[in-house]
Amino acid sequence: MTTEITAYEKVKLARSSTRATTADYIKGVTDKFIELHGDRRFGDDSAVIGGIGTICGMPITVIGTEKGHDMGERMARKFGCASPEGYRKALRLVKQAEKFSRPVLFFVDIQGANPGAGAEERGIAEAIAENLYEFGAVKTPMLTIVIGEGGSGGALALSVADEIWMLENAYYSVIAPESCASILFKEPSRASEVAEYLKMTAPDLNGFGVVERIIGEPSDFTDDNAVAKFMSDLKVQIAEKFAQLKKTSVKKLVARRYDKYRRIGKYTEL
């Protein structure tokens, strides 16, 4: 376990190409997985992997953004920057999970939603909004694990859940520190300092009540044995959490989820 590293060093670790990606997690924590493609409207977004699988025998729906490891994979995965089709595929699969009472597991690792002209033309903002709107009231347990980058609205739209867990070196932020430094201080070089200001690390989010659990990570993601051990431990944690959430009535679950978000910056009592 690493300690005493700066927020910006964590941002760099979160972006490292050797880090486990969604595909690695799916392989590591599910017994079986069947990928399901497409938003049934326009296309299939290669930046978002979704499908059904089992975890310790329990059927679940898994959705996550995938960056890929090398340049070829990263290009094919559009660097994990989800497009409207990715968010709409996720919505379709979440609705399907609700229908069949399957818990939903999100893996978040995204720099930000696709900032392209086509994404705007196909309503990226509406696609994100729709997911926030729907996921808050989905009648099945939902768990999010931020495994790398939690980049703004693009991450948010694949992370509304009953609980959010974060890897110890992941980040979750309203804006990338470089962009924030550039906009507010006109100096992108101040990113490291701004990363501290933004309070974007796992302990920060845990302190705000946004993140429930911080997951210790292997010191080296290229160490196969360490990663295998990490994945099998995580698998047990996820299965236990879903088993626990499944015991709660869905009505209570949805009410609690509403309250969780409602409490973040609450000043008014009606």
Partner 1 sequence: MSGVLETMLHSEKNAVCCKCKKSVSEAELVKRYFICPECHAYDRIPPRARIEYLTDKDSFNELFCADIDADPISFPGYAEKKAASRKKSGETEAVLCGTARIGGYETCIFVMNSEFMMASMGTVVGDRIASLFEYAIKRKLPVIGYAASGGARMQEGVLSLMQMVKTSIAAKKHSDAGLLFIVCLTDPTMGGVTASFATLGDIIIAEPNALIGFAGRRVIEQNTGGKLPESFQSAEFQLEHGVIDGIVERKDQRDYLTDVLSMHAEKWGVKA
Output the six-digit token pair for 17.
């190409």
How many residues touch partner 1 (CB under 8 A)?
Answer: 50
Output the six-digit token pair for 172.
């979750």
Kindly indicate which of the ranges 26-34, 101-109, 238-246, 256-264 contains the residues binding partner 1, using the contact rule CB under 8 A. 256-264
Name residue 15's amino acid: R
57-73 b/e with 16+ CB inside 10 Å = b? Answer: ebebbbbbbbbbeeeeb
In this structure, what are the phi and psi dihedrals at residue 253, rounded to the nearest 5 degrees?
Answer: -60, -45
Could you give the CA distance from residue 149 to residue 143 in angstroms, rounded to a whole number?
17
Q: Which is nearer to partner 1, 72 or 265 (CB)?
A: 265
Could you give the CA distance from residue 7 to residue 199 in angstroms, rounded to a whole number?
8
- Taking the complex as a whole, the smallest distance from the CB of residue 130 to partner 1 amounts, in Å, to 8
Q: Which is nearer to partner 1, 158 or 239 (CB)?
A: 158
Could you give the CA distance from residue 33 to residue 51 in angstroms, rounded to a whole number?
7
* Region 21-60 residues binding partner 1, contact defined as CB under 8 A: none
Which residue among 113, 167, 170, 202 contacts partner 1 (CB under 8 A)? 113
* Region 204-243 residues binding partner 1, contact defined as CB under 8 A: 204-205, 208, 210
Q: Which is nearer to partner 1, 21 or 159 (CB)?
A: 159
Q: What number of residues does the chain have?
A: 270
- Taking the complex as a whole, the smallest distance from the CB of residue 199 to partner 1 amounts, in Å, to 5
Does the footprint of partner 1 cover residue 165 (CB under 8 A)? no
Q: Which is nearer to partner 1, 27 or 40 (CB)?
A: 40
Does the footprint of partner 1 cover residue 125 (CB under 8 A)? yes
Output the six-digit token pair for 88.
């709409």
From residue 55 to residue 94, the character string flagging contacts with partner 1 as x (rule: CB under 8 A) and all else as - is ----------------------------------------
- Taking the complex as a whole, the smallest distance from the CB of residue 270 to partner 1 amounts, in Å, to 5
Which residue from 123, 155, 29, 135 is spatially nearest to 92, judged by alpha carbons?
A: 135
Q: How far is CA 163 from CA 34, 156, 166, 180, 253, in A?
A: 24, 13, 10, 27, 11
Which residue among 32, 115, 189, 216 contacts partner 1 (CB under 8 A)? 115
Does the footprint of partner 1 cover residue 175 (CB under 8 A)? yes
Helix extents (H) in 1-148: 7-15, 22-29, 71-76, 84-99, 117-121, 124-135
Could you give the CA distance from residue 24 to residue 77 in angstroms, rounded to a whole number?
14
- Taking the complex as a whole, the smallest distance from the CB of residue 151 to partner 1 amounts, in Å, to 10
Binding stretches for partner 1 (CB under 8 A): 113, 115-117, 119-126, 128-130, 132-134, 136-137, 152-153, 156-157, 160, 172-175, 180, 183-184, 197-200, 204-205, 208, 210, 257-258, 261-262, 264-268, 270
